[in-house]
Amino acid sequence: MAIRAIFGGSFDPPHIGHVLAVTYVLMTEMVEQVTVVPVFRHAFDKEMADYEHRLALARAAFGHLAEVDVSDVERGLPTPSYTIRTLEALAERYPKDEFRLLIGADLLADAARWVRFDEVCRLAPPLVLGRVGVEADGAPSVLPDVSSSRVRGWLRLRSEPEALRQLRWTLPARVLREIELRRLYV
The predicted structure's pLDDT at residue 77: 92
Q: What's the number of domains the chain is made of?
A: 1
One-letter amino acid of 155? L
The CATH number of whichever domain residue 116 belongs to comes to 3.40.50.620
Spell 114-147 as b/e; 16+ CB within 10 A means b. beeeeebeebbebbbbbbeebebeebeebbeebb
Element (DSSP H or E) covering residue 91: helix 83-93
Asked if the structure places residue 111 within a domain, the reply is: yes
Query: Is the distance from CB of 141 to CB of 132 less than 8 angstroms?
Result: yes
Question: Is 126 within a domain?
Answer: yes
Please provide residue 93's backbone torsions phi and psi, each rounded to the nearest 5 degrees.
-70, -35
In a domain, 165, yes or no: no
Question: Cβ neighbours of residue 1 under 8 Å, at least 6 residues apart?
Answer: 96, 97, 98
Residue 9 lies in a domain: yes
Query: Digits of tens for pLDDT over the chain (186 positions)?
Result: 899 999 999 999 999 999 999 999 999 988 999 999 999 998 877 889 999 999 999 999 999 999 999 999 999 998 888 999 999 999 999 999 999 999 998 888 788 888 999 999 999 999 999 888 777 777 888 889 899 999 999 999 999 999 999 999 999 999 999 999 999 998
* Residue 49, domain member (yes or no): yes
User: pLDDT at position 105, please?
Assistant: 86
Full residue range of the structural domain in which residue 60 is found: 3-145
164 in a structural domain: no
In a domain, 152, yes or no: no
Give the pLDDT score at 40. Answer: 95
Residue 20 lies in a domain: yes
